[in-house]
Amino acid sequence: MLDYLRAECYKMLHRSYLWMALLITGGLELVLVLLWAWINCELPNNMTVSAGFSMVLYLLSLGYYATAITSDIAFSDQYKYNTLKNEVAYGIPRARIYLGKLFAGVLLSIGACALLLGWYALLCALMLPGDGAVLEALKVLGFALLCAFPVWVGAQALYLLCFFSIRGNTAATIVSVCIIALFGQMLTFLSLLVSMPAPGLADALLAIKGLLLTSPLESITDAIGDWSRVAWAWAVGAGWCVGTTALGLWCFHRREIS
């Protein structure tokens, strides 16, 4: 398994798609911090280092969609280039193929996240004025990332399920994004529709919504320091990761690869 994982990581790191995505994202971070620095010229100390760090909390939901990129890089258009068929024909166990790509994608996500956050922190430290609240801002950010990490991994597992189950990375990405972005809104809308005639059903729909990947990060700024939110996030993320991985392995074992 370790040899296969190393091979997957090697392939990912040699894809130009990865470095282009990192370069574009890092460039956008640079533009954002430069904009804040320019605003500070007009309104001194309007945006400080700690405020810059705190802004990350409002961008955590982007992680649900950033994992689509890392999952796509890990899957590497296996159906398009028939490499998945070759791996199965070569005799590599399907569980090793599936889990290897999942683990590789998670490792890539962690590395990319650390690199981009580190670059962003460096830009803020160099271009924005300090205010003595950096340590507190880092604690808040660390708490938020502790909540975000497990649901991001759950999203990654969902993307891999769709990539292995649907021929075509674009279609698989669209299905996954719709599940993540729209399912919660649909449940909220339905609960509002039935709240008057059937309040019990509305409560049940909202309870189901609480099990979705997006729920633990909703209003995260109001839950800083609430460790029950961390437990909730890890329970939801673990549930989605285990559930989608089990379903993906079952579907992959049953599927005829041609």
State pLDDT tens for residues 179-201: 998 888 888 888 888 777 777 78
Quick check: 25 pLDDT over 90? yes
As a whole number, mean pLDDT of residues 5-19 equals 85
With beta carbons less than 8 A apart as the criterion, state whether 63 and 146 touch: no
Number of other CB atoms surrounding residue 164 within 10 Å: 24
CA distances from 87 to 90, 238, 248 (A): 5, 28, 17
Question: Taking Cα atoms as reference points, which of 90, 79, 91 lies closest to residue 258?
Answer: 79
Higher pLDDT, 1 or 55: 55
pTM, two decimals, is 0.90
> Where does the pLDDT of residue 159 fall: very low under 50, low under 70, confident under 90, or very high at 90 and above?
very high
Round to whole Å and give the CA distance between 203 and 172: 31
| pLDDT for residue 126 | 92
Cα dihedral 149, 150, 151, 155 in deg (nearest 10):
100
State pLDDT tens for residues 223-252: 888 899 999 999 999 999 999 999 999 988
Question: Taking Cα atoms as reference points, which of 185, 167, 188, 209 lies closest to residue 78?
Answer: 167
Domain ranges of the chain: 2-254
State pLDDT tens for residues 28-38: 999 999 998 88
Round to whole Å and give the CA distance between 90 and 81: 15
